[in-house]
Amino acid sequence: ANFNDPQSMLSLDSDVVFAVSNSAELTGDEQWFYSADVIERSPSQYLHFKVRVYNQLDTQVPVWFSISFPAIKRLTVTDGTKRWVTGDSLPFSSRPVNAPNYHFPSILPPSAYTEFSGTMTGEILRYSFSVATPEYYSNLYMKTLQRDMAFFGAMGLLTVLCTLGFIASRNLVFLSFASFIFTITFWFFRVFGYAFELLWPNTPSLNDISYAVSIYSVLITAFWVLFQTLARDNHEVYGAKPVKRFCAILPFMGILLWQSVGLDSALKLPVILFFPYILIAALVIFVEHKRGSDRAKWLAAAMLPLTFSTLVLTVIALFEVEVYLEPIATFMTGLVMTCLFMVALTANYMVKVVQRERDAQKEAAQLKSEQTFRLEALVKERTLALEQTNSALAVLASKDSLTELPNRRTLDLFVDDTFDKTIHDHEALAIALIDLDHFKSINDTFGHNVGDEVLKGIANILAPLNNEDQVAARYGGEEFAIAKRVTQPNGNQSSEAEEFAKQLEIVHCAINQLAIASIDDRKLGACIGWTLCKGSDDIVEAFRRADKALYLAKDKGRNLIIPAL
Ligand SMILES: Nc1nc2c(ncn2[C@@H]2O[C@H](COP(=O)(O)OP(=O)(O)OP(=O)(O)O)[C@@H](O)[C@H]2O)c(=O)[nH]1
């Protein structure tokens, strides 16, 4: 190959020749081929290579001889003057140049050939030989580094978002997203060489383990995302049980394969399993869609870019197909798109949950206000009924049941009320006690019912006297009483007291004239004793006075009005 432009990279892939042997040393009998693909080789055998580069420039050029794709266990390279030994099984610090791929700093002498040769062992999935200046590669890595960091940043952010989503909602879908995005990001971190360089530069033994852990985790969390996204309450997702069992035994299958067949096969297993995963996912999504899952079609849409790019990557990696697509970039694009879809799904879900919660709160508040309204109405209704009952009871308690006149209690309250309010000197209470004459004989002669009728007749005379300032009540048995508030401006018997006396005469007259057929229109008589009780007087004493006057009337032959002033 001819080197003539320091600004670009010289690919050596079509010039390199290969041979396979069982030892690191060449015997000279080996057959050399222009393509390594045609040679049968096991990972433990040595793949030898050599290539000659002619520098067409008349100045010496410092270059890096480069072998890309770091899936090489052990690598020995020489440019004729220097010899390097490096590889994945050796510490990262033993690399001649601190960069993800293998670079060997050499100097191309002016107008001369330089032969690069060496051996490789390991799986060696893909490789590519080239020569360019260190500046060229450094610029290239700068761009790759920016791309990778943007990718890791985006994926890291998505992991954090999904984790926060889980903490906020306690919904396992978010946790499955977070685990899937995290494990796939870690897998990339490991595959791109950042893990060797930053996390365990001097512990190459971790490389295979970390690869195995990350790739198995990616597959298992991918299954988790599938089944968790489609999970519904009281509903078993199609195929969930066998897949769960399979995922539980998958790590043991890997260990078994590693111990029996070899590490390479154990590492290849999860990659191969992505094909059945895609088929299973398609089937489960289809069945769940038919069963009425509204998330199924969204999940299918979200998985499409990743599925396509995974297919491209695995087909290229396993079958070495020549496709005009940069596999890693394609996969990264697919992955980022899928994760974006997932975030959209997640956001959509969160909005729905929040909306549902808000609706529920609104409904609860409405229900509460309705209940409060109803309760208030009920309380009002009950209070009204209670007030009505109370006033009915108050009426009942204040009246005499037979005559419907105010009873003694009402009279007492009226008297107390009058005396509770300050009674001025010119104010007084007129009290009259009325007792029917020979009432017993009416009862005895005509019967108790007729006696009642007589009492009602008396009540009819007294009832119209009741007003704000006067109470005419049944005092007990055949006894009645009248109490009236009167004024007496000069301390003497006032005109109002005189009016009271006149009223008593009218009442007395009315009793005498009361004609009741059932007692054969027998004339009724009554004794009335009355008095005035001034503000400074004792009310009990006043009643006693009226009573005495009443008995005096009885003694004097009945049917008389006697004042006790
Ligand atoms: N029908 C009826 N009789 C009653 C009622 N309350 C009391 N009496 C009667 O009234 C009578 C009162 O009798 P007395 O106290 O001896 O009085 P009196 O017969 O009127 O005699 P004097 O008052 O001395 O003229 C008794 O026979 C009682 O049974 C009532 O509600 N209805």
- Ligand 1 geometric centre to CA of 332 (Å): 116
Residue ID of nearest Cα to ligand 1 atom 29: 440
Say whether 435 sits in a helix, a strand or coil: strand
- Ligand 1 geometric centre to CA of 400 (Å): 16
For β-strands 128-132 and 10-11, DSSP reports them as: antiparallel
User: What is the pLDDT, as a whole number, of residue 15?
Assistant: 94
- The ligand 1 atom nearest the CA atom of 454: 1
Q: Which of 440, 445, 454 to mutate to test the pocket of ligand 1 (most atoms within 8 A of CB)?
A: 440
- Structure confidence by residue, pLDDT tens digits, 29-42: 888 998 877 788 77
Structure token digits, residue 399: 């009246």
Q: Cite the active site residues.
A: 478
- The ligand 1 atom nearest the CA atom of 402: 31
User: What is the pLDDT, as a whole number, of residue 298?
Assistant: 81
User: What is the pLDDT, as a whole number, of residue 121?
Assistant: 85
User: What is the pLDDT, as a whole number, of residue 203?
Assistant: 92
pTM: 0.58
- Ligand 1 geometric centre to CA of 485 (Å): 29
User: What is the pLDDT, as a whole number, of residue 438?
Assistant: 94
Residue ID of nearest Cα to ligand 1 atom 26: 440
Tell me whether residue 168 is exposed, middle or buried, using C-beta atoms within 10 angstroms of its C-beta: 0 to 12, 13 to 18, 19 or more.
exposed
Residue ID of nearest Cα to ligand 1 atom 16: 440
Name the phi and psi angles at 313, rounded to 5: -60, -50
In 3D space, the residue among 458, 482, 462 whose CA is nearest the CA of residue 470 turns out to be: 482
Compute, in degrees rounded to 10, the torsion defined by CA atoms 85, 89, 91, 94: 10
- The ligand 1 atom nearest the CA atom of 439: 20
- Ligand 1 geometric centre to CA of 440 (Å): 4
Neighbours of 449 (CB within 10 A): 9
- Ligand 1 geometric centre to CA of 68 (Å): 133
User: What is the pLDDT, as a whole number, of residue 23?
Assistant: 86
Compute, in degrees rounded to 10, the torsion defined by CA atoms 460, 464, 470, 471: 30
Residue ID of nearest Cα to ligand 1 atom 21: 438
442 lines ligand 1 (CB under 6 A): no
User: What is the pLDDT, as a whole number, of residue 126?
Assistant: 67
- Structure confidence by residue, pLDDT tens digits, 490-530: 555 557 788 899 999 999 999 999 999 999 888 999 999 99
- Structure confidence by residue, pLDDT tens digits, 435-481: 999 999 999 999 999 999 999 999 999 999 999 999 999 999 999 99
- The ligand 1 atom nearest the CA atom of 449: 1
Q: Which regions of the chain are under pLDDT 50?
A: none
Contact yes or no for 346/166 (Cβ under 8 A): no
